[in-house]
Amino acid sequence: MKRKQRVLYVQYTTPAGYTILGHGARMLAKRGWEVLFLGVDTIGSATKIKLQACEGVREKTLPYCPPGFKQKLHYIRYCFWVCWHALNWRADAIYCSDRMVAPIGWFLSKIGRFRVVFHEHDPPRDSNGLFLRSIMRFRKCLATNAIVCIVPNQERVDKFVADVNPKNAMMVWNAVSVDEIRDECQHKLDGTLRLWYQGALGPGQLPLSIVDAIAMTDGVEFAFAGYETFGTGSFVQQLLSRAESLGVSDRVRYVGTPATRDDLYAASKGADVGLVLFEIPFRDVMAGASQKPFEYMAAGMAMLVPDLPEWERFTVSEGFGRSCLPNQPESIARELAFFRDNRVKTREMGTAAQTRIRTNWNYESQFKPVVELLEATATNSGKGSK
C-alpha cells in the first residue's frame, strides 16, 4: 500500500500568522497529503490567532525567544529540529514560508530527496549585519534550487526574478478560500453605513484620518479588529482617544483580535464597506498581496482603497469600490458620503466582488498550479514508499 505524500511547512514564526498557508495546507490534505507545520510561538495579541483545524494537518512549535544572542542559539536549534523532522518523518516536500528558513530549504534541496517550495510573502528590507546578509545569500541559493518560488503579485514577481534569477517563479495572490464566502451578509439599504477594518494595526495600514473623516460624516460608524505589532504598541488607544476627542467615540469600536476565521467573519457581519487605506507611498505593492481586500470581497463588502494605479486596476476599474487619499480626511469623507447616499450602488459593488471571489479570485484557483506541480514532480520513492 502506498503511503500518503508528506509536506513539511517551515517558518521561523507562528504558522497561524499567514492565513494563506492554512488554505494551501488544507487543499493538500484534502487531496490525501499529510501536512506538518513547524514554527515558533509568538507573543502579544497575535497569540490569539489559531491555525484552522483540518484532518491531516498538524502543528508543532518551539517556545518564543526574544531578540538577542539567545535567539541566535534558538534559531540554530530550530534549524536542526526542522532537519531532524524532515529526515525522521520522511517528508516528500518542504514548504519554506519565510526568508529566515532559506538556509534550511537550501540544505534540504541539495540532499536531493526533497522537493522544496519557497513562498516569499514580503519583499526583503535592507539587510544590515553579517547574519542577515548571510540569510539573503541563502535566499538566492534557495530560489535557484526550489522547484517553484511563489510571490503574491506580478510587480513583486518581476522584482524577485531580477534579484535572484529563480529556476521557476509563480504568482499566487493571497486570496481567500471558497469556504469563506459568506452568503448571509445582511447588508442594509438604509440606516447607518457600517465601515469595517481587519488586519495589522498601525498608522501605515489604518490612518488616524479615518476617525477625522467619520467626525465629518453623519450616519457612519466604524468597527475594527486586529493586532498591534511591536512597532505600533499603543495604536488602538490612539485611535480610540482620537475618536473621544472628536466626540465620535460612540461610532468607533474596537472588537479585539478574533481567534479564528469564523470569529473574524462573525465580527464583520453586516458591514457595508471594507477599508484598505495603506499610506501613500507604502513600502510595497500590496494589491494581490494583502489578504484583507479578498476577505472583504468574500463577505460582500464594497471597498475604499488608496488612489493609486495598482488599486485602480484591482478594485475601482472592476467595479468593486472607490478610491481616496488616505492621509486626507476630506477625501475619505467624500467617499463615505457617497457610500452612505448610494446604498444600492454600494450593495452592487459588494455583490460583484463576491461573485468574482466565487468565480476565480479564490485561493483554490490561485494555488492549484502549485498543487499540480508538487504532485507531478512526486518522486517514485516518495509515491511508492510503504
Closest CA to 25 of 62, 55, 50: 55
Closest CA to 297 of 221, 206, 360, 365: 360
Give CA–CA dist 34/38, Å, rounded. 13
Q: In 10 A of CB 341, how many CB atoms?
A: 11
Q: In 10 A of CB 25, how many CB atoms?
A: 25
Give CA–CA dist 232/227, Å, rounded. 9
CA neighbours closer than 13 Å in the CB half-sphere of residue 53: 2
* Domain edges within the chain: 6-174+363-384, 178-359
Same fold, 6-174+363-384 and 178-359: yes
Residue 225 backbone phi and psi in degrees, to 5: -140, 155
Q: Which CATH architecture has domain 178-359?
A: 3-Layer(aba) Sandwich (3.40)
Chain-centroid distance, C-alpha 263: 17
Contact (CB, 8 A) for 209 and 326: yes
Pull the grid cell for residue 25: 495546507
Q: How many residues does the chain have?
A: 386
pLDDT in the model for residue 326? 97
Q: What is the CATH number of domain 6-174+363-384?
A: 3.40.50.2000
pLDDT in the model for residue 385? 40
Closest CA to 177 of 381, 373, 7, 368: 368
Chain-centroid distance, C-alpha 274: 16
pLDDT in the model for residue 50? 75
Residue 97 backbone phi and psi in degrees, to 5: -115, 30
pLDDT in the model for residue 2? 75
Q: pLDDT per position in the chain (386 positions), as tens?
A: 678 999 999 999 998 888 899 999 999 999 999 999 999 998 766 666 777 778 999 999 999 999 888 999 999 999 999 999 999 999 999 999 989 999 999 999 998 789 999 999 998 877 778 888 999 999 999 999 999 999 999 999 999 999 999 999 999 999 999 999 987 666 777 789 999 999 989 999 999 999 999 999 999 999 999 988 766 568 999 999 999 999 999 999 999 988 888 899 999 999 999 999 999 999 899 999 999 999 999 999 999 999 999 999 999 999 999 999 999 999 999 999 999 999 999 999 999 999 999 999 999 999 999 999 999 987 544 443 43
For 63, 340, 354, 357, the CA distances from 324, given in Å and listed in that order, are 43, 15, 22, 23
